[in-house]
């Protein structure tokens, strides 16, 4: 078995085990293969494994990959998004994991209508409260969600968070549990445009714990493709 296949097999086993521990169906956990550390060649090998969902955090890294990979893959924008880049994201990416302010939501809504292409968005929540992290503070989430739901075209499918970097992933379990609690709180509003079935949480170092706490999308970079821990 080659090295990449091996890594993917191992990840699938960890997903199954985490699901088993809490009685979840492994089919409810989806993987975004984060390829920001690697080139088009390696990204194409990820696609060859049957992984379709590819995550990038910068438009300028994704563009050369699209050029060489043609129409392959379903693309997720996972990085901080500048308003002036929205026009490049809508129409090419299918998912956005980092909706974190109203001005961005308005611009996305406008471009979706203009291009007639959908963009499925996760609201990024700064659960841990770290000042270095983007995201809506938990206490402002409900109001933010209601405002965004009033925009006619944007589609909100869930919440996303990034846990602090710690040695022992058990330490960040409360962060994931809190995102789940916030999801349930928004769901109780019973607003048809805020059904938010998805939770995007868990990365290479903490995805097992995130799955135990209800992640439906995990974003896996280094554990899958190798490569550095570059920021962004």
Ligand X SMILES: *Cc1c(COP(=O)(O)O)cnc(C)c1O
Task: Give contact residues for ligand X (rule: CB under 6 A).
Answer: 34, 36, 57, 78-79, 162, 203-205, 219-223, 232
Q: What residue is closest to ligand X based on CB? A: 221
Between 123 and 149, name the residue whose CB sits nearer to ligand X: 123
Rounded to 5 degrees, φ, ψ at 126 are -90, 80
HEC profile for the chain?
CCHHHHHHHHHHHHHHHHHHHHCCCHHHCEEEEECCCCCHHHHHHHHHCCCCEEEECCHHHHHHHHHHHCCCCEEEECCCCCHHHHHHHECCECEEEEECCHHHHHHHHHHHHHHCCCCEEEEEECCCCCCCCCCECHHHHHHHHHHHHCCCCCEEEEEECCCCCCCCHHHHHHHHHHHHHHHHHHHCCCCHHHCCCEEECCCCCCHHHHHHCCCCEEEECHHHHCCCCCCC
Between 118 and 169, name the residue whose CB sits nearer to ligand X: 169
Between 116 and 132, name the residue whose CB sits nearer to ligand X: 132
Least separation in angstroms between CB 145 and ligand X: 20
What does the alpha-carbon distance between residue 133 and residue 131 come to, in Å, rounded to a whole number? 5
Least separation in angstroms between CB 222 and ligand X: 4
Least separation in angstroms between CB 189 and ligand X: 26
Least separation in angstroms between CB 231 and ligand X: 8
Between 196 and 210, name the residue whose CB sits nearer to ligand X: 210
Between 151 and 217, name the residue whose CB sits nearer to ligand X: 217
Least separation in angstroms between CB 12 and ligand X: 16
Between 153 and 222, name the residue whose CB sits nearer to ligand X: 222
Q: In 10 A of CB 221, how many CB atoms?
A: 23
Residues in a beta bridge with 217: 30, 200
Least separation in angstroms between CB 78 and ligand X: 4
């Amino acid at each position: 078995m080659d090295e990449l296949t091996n890594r993917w097999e191992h990840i699938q086993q960890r997903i199954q085990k985490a699901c088993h521990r809490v009685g979840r169906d492994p089919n409810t956990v989806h993987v975004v293969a984060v390829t920001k550390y690697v080139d088009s060649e390696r990204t194409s090998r990820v696609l060859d494994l049957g992984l379709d969902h590819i995550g990038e955090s910068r438009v300028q890294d994704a563009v050369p990959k699209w050029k060489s990979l043609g129409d392959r893959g379903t693309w997720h924008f996972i990085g901080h998004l500048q308003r002036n880049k929205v026009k490049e994201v809508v129409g090419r990416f299918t998912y956005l994991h980092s909706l974190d302010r109203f001005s961005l939501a308005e611009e996305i809504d406008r471009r979706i209508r203009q291009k007639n292409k959908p963009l499925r968005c996760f609201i990024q929540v700064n659960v841990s409260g770290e000042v270095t992290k983007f995201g809506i503070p938990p206490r402002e989430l409900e109001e933010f969600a209601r405002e965004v739901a009033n925009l006619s075209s944007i589609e909100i499918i869930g919440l996303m968070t990034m846990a602090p970097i710690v040695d022992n992933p058990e330490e960040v379990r409360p962060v994931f549990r809190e995102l789940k609690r916030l999801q349930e709180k928004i769901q109780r509003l019973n607003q048809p445009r805020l059904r938010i079935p998805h939770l995007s949480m868990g990365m290479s170092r903490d995805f097992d714990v995130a799955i135990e706490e209800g992640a439906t999308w995990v974003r896996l970079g280094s554990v899958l493709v190798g490569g550095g821990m570059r920021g962004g």
